[in-house]
């Protein structure tokens, strides 16, 4: 039986409402293949069984549609315009790099582009499943084509031509037909071969590695389940409202609940699907990956190897829950991840990271403190530094009535009191890389620095506004304050930093924060769960933390690529907007000193060797990211890789010179040293973080420029002077 006949038989049994369209697509599928791909498709005809929707999924679809229309924060109906957007998002989810489908395929589906909305309203899932089945069939054809090319001998590939390949094809046009796609895939294979040759692998090793990769992906594709299609389709649909609204299948719901309870023994990383890859969203503070230090947000996982296995398992194309299961494992065992770094020039650049699994312990997420001393013109300033990795609370101990239960606010209050006993002149609060946590802890933490007053506003989809307040008039610390933030400071961190800024209680220093200003609720369905955005955060000054985040008073550039990480980098993110401010005190007006503070900061950083090096790294990473193509010519590629390696080695050795350490002679020495450092999770870097040092220097500037803060006045005194300023 031919592909078209088999698919049509299956769909006639399902009473497919799009059978005429699907017949055209299926016949087109056969007719447009090259002879080689056609033969391959025939040989795998029985390998893929098209998946079909279930009654439970149809019911869940109807419930999801109702929830999205009537309870989501964004007021949006389901219409023809939405249908087209869902269509594009669904194809992007299934083939985000435009490497499986052709323009001919897209044209054949044009009839359903404008009708998906009405079908989704009423639980008619077949159109989405038809698209899914065709994409899986196309993936099988492409993978078989790649396997045939590799088995024919990679030594036959030509690396002397002046060819280029796009690094990112997400915005590229679809290839016209199967023949054009064949040419693209030959380029992709050449790119993969080149990358591995330049990493020192011989052709036999490369052949085995690529065959293992493509055959593994082929196996997973053939095992596609109805739930895979449904989850992909529902997430494309739900993602129209905002990127944090998503559907969890029953299996994914189980993993979500495990992660929320922090009882998972694993690496301490939050993962999500990103087309064919599993991507790192964030690291759990105090978790194994965070302490190991090499894994970073936006890294994409290529393979996973257990400590008792010689070969890694390629996980490209795997379901998220299966990747999570593979990474999860016994405490103290080691898992090795091969990842495409977030700053890699293209997807052929990978590195391996070994992480020892462990539980994420609450005490390892706890706030901590230190004291730094800065000499200025004969005077020594003692600056307290409090680092807060996350906003935490031991809810169980709290419910059990334990008077000594741990929480962010309780711990920070104790640390502040200890620092005051040590005679500090000011405090730097470090919430860099703090992805949020317990909202009430952010509210209570603000209360340590102000008298009673509002801390954050929360508006729901009915435009009802709830104001959270600090109702405790006591102030734990009334002296000079700096808050350090970066792009990975999100949610509760942004609420805290924004409130400190709005109250004029301290200066915010660093880079623009993430911009996560929405609140989600998880709602059960008859089949799985729906995580849906229901509210939005607003600062006491009225501006939302959504999309824009918190803009620092003094900015320090970051290595993080804001076009890839942050709320404004996400599709369909809710916009920034503003509501009415709520009455609040203004403790200090920095307008009289901020310009001078910025001038001093700029002058200091211009001469600081660590900052100059940071700027070099940022420029280097920017050049890498701006490179849209890579050469498939061996000589050109070797020259480019040598240039990149020299830049990496130069930057690493410049940092070692600053620290008085011997330089590395080769890149291999650098890589070996980094692996050794990462493997020692108990090692600490005694060198002062120069950004913390700069926070202290800005504090010292504040003390020098304004004696009102040098004497650590009470909030009421500061308020009175600020008003007269």
CB atoms closer than 10 angstroms to residue 643 = 11
**CATH number, domain 362-519+535-607+703-724:** 3.90.226.10
Burial of 412 (0-12, 13-18, 19+ CB in 10 A): buried
pLDDT at residue number 602: 94
Identify which has the larger pLDDT, 44 or 679. Answer: 679
pLDDT at residue number 250: 85
Specify the long-range contacts of residues 466-473, CB closer than 8 Å, at least 24 apart: 467/582, 468/439, 468/440, 468/443, 469/443, 470/443, 470/444, 470/446, 471/447, 472/447
pLDDT reading at 268 higher than 70 = yes
327-336 average pLDDT score: 88
* Equal fold, 263-359 vs 362-519+535-607+703-724: no
Helix, coil or strand: residue 456: strand
pLDDT reading at 684 higher than 50 = no
pLDDT at residue number 402: 83
pLDDT reading at 203 higher than 70 = yes
- Among the ranges given (5-9, 406-410, 560-564, 627-631), the one the predictor scored with the smallest mean pLDDT: 5-9
Tell me the average pLDDT of the chain: 85
Any idea where the domains of the chain sit in the sequence? 3-238, 263-359, 362-519+535-607+703-724, 609-679
pLDDT at residue number 26: 34
458, HSE (Cβ side, Cα atoms, 13 Å): 17
Identify which has the larger pLDDT, 685 or 13. Answer: 685
pLDDT at residue number 19: 37
pLDDT reading at 504 higher than 60 = yes
130, 346, 502, 553: the catalytic one is 502
Of 135, 111, 119, nearest to 51 (Cα)? 135
Identify which has the larger pLDDT, 360 or 343. Answer: 343
pLDDT at residue number 669: 86
Identify which has the larger pLDDT, 440 or 81. Answer: 440
Identify which has the larger pLDDT, 561 or 73. Answer: 73
352-364 average pLDDT score: 78
| Tens-digit pLDDT profile for residues 155-167 | 999 999 999 999 8
Task: Tell me the C-alpha distance between 725 and 720, whole Å.
Answer: 9
Of 48, 172, 15, 186, nearest to 103 (Cα)? 172
190, 279, 291, 516: the catalytic one is 516
pLDDT reading at 680 higher than 90 = no
110-127 average pLDDT score: 92
pLDDT at residue number 37: 39
Query: 263-359 has which fold?
Result: Pdz3 Domain (2.30.42)
| Tens-digit pLDDT profile for residues 572-621 | 999 999 999 999 999 999 998 999 999 999 999 889 898 888 888 888 88
Task: Tell me the C-alpha distance between 81 and 118, whole Å.
Answer: 11
Active site residue 226: no
| Tens-digit pLDDT profile for residues 219-246 | 889 989 999 999 999 999 999 999 999 9
pLDDT at residue number 191: 94
369, 407, 491, 511: the catalytic one is 491
Count H helices, E strands: the chain?
Answer: 26, 21
pLDDT at residue number 27: 27
| Tens-digit pLDDT profile for residues 402-433 | 888 889 999 999 999 999 999 999 999 999 99
- Show the CA angle centred on residue 363, arms to residues 361 and 367, nearest 5°: 130
280-306 average pLDDT score: 86
| Tens-digit pLDDT profile for residues 491-501 | 999 999 999 99
pLDDT reading at 400 higher than 50 = yes
pLDDT at residue number 671: 79
pLDDT at residue number 384: 97
Query: Phi and psi of 337, rounded to 5°?
Result: -105, 135
Helix, coil or strand: residue 288: helix
Task: Tell me the C-alpha distance between 706 and 592, whole Å.
Answer: 9
pLDDT band at 296 (very low <50, low <70, confident <90, very high): confident
Of 316, 102, 121, nearest to 237 (Cα)? 121
pLDDT at residue number 345: 67
- Among the ranges given (14-23, 128-137, 370-379), the one the predictor scored with the smallest mean pLDDT: 14-23
Of 640, 607, 636, 600, nearest to 624 (Cα)? 640
324-346 average pLDDT score: 85
Residue pair 486/511 in contact by the 8 Å Cβ criterion: yes
Active site residue 84: no
| Tens-digit pLDDT profile for residues 449-469 | 999 999 999 999 999 999 999
Task: Tell me the C-alpha distance between 322 and 217, whole Å.
Answer: 13
Helical (H) or strand (E) element with 177: none
Identify which has the larger pLDDT, 439 or 40. Answer: 439
The alpha carbon torsion through 34, 37, 39, 43 (nearest 10 deg) reads: -160
Helix, coil or strand: residue 619: helix
186-215 average pLDDT score: 92
pLDDT at residue number 493: 97
Rg (CA), the chain: 28
């Amino acid at each position: 039986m031919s592909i078209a006949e088999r698919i049509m038989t299956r769909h006639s049994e399902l009473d497919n409402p799009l059978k005429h369209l699907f017949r055209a697509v299926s016949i087109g599928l056969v007719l447009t293949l090259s002879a080689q791909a056609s033969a391959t498709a025939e040989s795998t005809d029985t390998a893929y069984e098209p998946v079909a929707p279930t009654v439970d999924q149809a019911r869940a679809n109807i419930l999801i549609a109702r929830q999205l229309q009537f309870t989501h924060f964004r007021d949006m109906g389901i219409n023809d315009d939405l249908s087209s957007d869902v269509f594009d998002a669904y194809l992007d989810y299934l083939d985000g790099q435009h490497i499986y489908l052709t323009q001919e395929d897209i044209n054949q589906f044009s009839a359903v582009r404008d009708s998906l909305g009405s079908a989704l309203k009423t639980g008619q899932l077949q159109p989405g499943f038809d698209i899914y089945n065709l994409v899986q069939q196309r993936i099988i054809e492409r993978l078989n084509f790649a396997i045939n090319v590799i088995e024919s001998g990679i030594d036959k590939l030509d690396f002397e031509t002046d060819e280029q390949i796009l690094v990112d094809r997400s915005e590229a046009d679809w290839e016209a037909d199967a023949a054009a796609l064949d040419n693209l895939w030959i380029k992709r294979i050449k790119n993969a071969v080149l990358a591995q040759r330049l990493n020192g692998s011989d052709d036999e090793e490369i052949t085995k590695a690529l065959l293992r990769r493509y055959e593994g992906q082929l196996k997973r594709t053939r095992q596609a389940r109805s739930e895979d299609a449904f989850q992909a389709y529902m997430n494309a649909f739900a993602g129209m409202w905002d990127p944090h609204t998503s559907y969890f299948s029953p299996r994914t719901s189980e993993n979500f609940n495990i992660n929320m309870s922090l009882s998972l023994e694993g690496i301490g990383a939050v993962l999500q699907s990103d087309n064919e890859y599993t991507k790192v969203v964030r690291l759990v503070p105090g978790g194994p990956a965070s302490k190991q230090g090499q894994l970073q947000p936006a890294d994409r996982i290529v393979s996973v190897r257990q400590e008792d296995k010689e070969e890694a398992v390629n996980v490209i194309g795997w379901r998220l829950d299966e990747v999570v299961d593979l990474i999860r494992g016994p405490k103290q065992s080691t898992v090795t991840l091969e990842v495409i770094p977030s700053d890699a020039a293209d997807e052929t650049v990978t590195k391996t990271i070994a992480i020892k699994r462990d539980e994420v312990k609450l005490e390892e997420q706890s706030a901590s403190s230190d004291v730094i001393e800065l000499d200025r013109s004969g005077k020594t300033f003692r600056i307290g530094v409090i680092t807060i990795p996350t906003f935490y609370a031991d809810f169980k101990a709290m419910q059990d009535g334990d008077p000594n239960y741990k929480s962010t606010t309780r711990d920070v209050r104790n640390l502040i009191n200890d620092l005051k006993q040590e005679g500090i002149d000011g405090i730097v609060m470090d919430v860099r890389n703090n992805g949020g946590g317990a909202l009430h802890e952010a509210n209570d933490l603000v209360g340590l620095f102000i008298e009673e007053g509002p801390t954050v506003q929360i508006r729901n989809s009915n435009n009802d506004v709830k104001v959270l307040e600090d109702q405790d008039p006591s102030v734990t610390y009334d002296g000079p304050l700096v808050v350090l933030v970066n792009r990975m400071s999100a949610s509760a961190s942004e609420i805290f930093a924004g409130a400190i800024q709005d109250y004029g209680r301290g200066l915010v220093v660093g880079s623009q924060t993430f911009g996560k200003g929405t609140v989600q609720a998880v709602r059960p369905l008859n089949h799985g769960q729906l995580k849906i955005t229901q509210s939005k955060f607003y600062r006491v000054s009225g501006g939302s933390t959504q999309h824009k985040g918190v803009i620092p008073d003094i900015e320090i550039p970051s290595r993080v690529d804001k076009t890839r990480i942050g709320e404004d980098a996400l599709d369909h993110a809710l916009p920034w907007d503003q509501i009415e401010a709520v009455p609040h005190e203004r403790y200090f007006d920095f307008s009289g000193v901020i310009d001078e503070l910025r001038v001093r900061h700029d002058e200091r950083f211009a001469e600081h060797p660590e900052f100059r090096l940071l700027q070099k790294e940022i420029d280097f990473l920017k050049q890498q990211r701006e490179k849209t193509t890579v050469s498939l010519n061996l000589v050109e590629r070797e020259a480019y890789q040598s240039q990149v390696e020299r830049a990496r080695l130069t930057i690493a050795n410049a940092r070692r010179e600053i620290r008085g350490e011997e330089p590395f002679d080769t890149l291999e020495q650098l890589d070996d040293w980094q692996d050794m450092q990462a493997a020692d999770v108990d090692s600490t870097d005694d060198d002062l973080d120069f950004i913390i040092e700069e926070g202290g220097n800005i504090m010292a500037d504040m003390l020098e420029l304004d004696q009102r803060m040098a004497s650590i006045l009470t909030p009421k005194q500061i308020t009175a002077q600020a008003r007269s300023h």
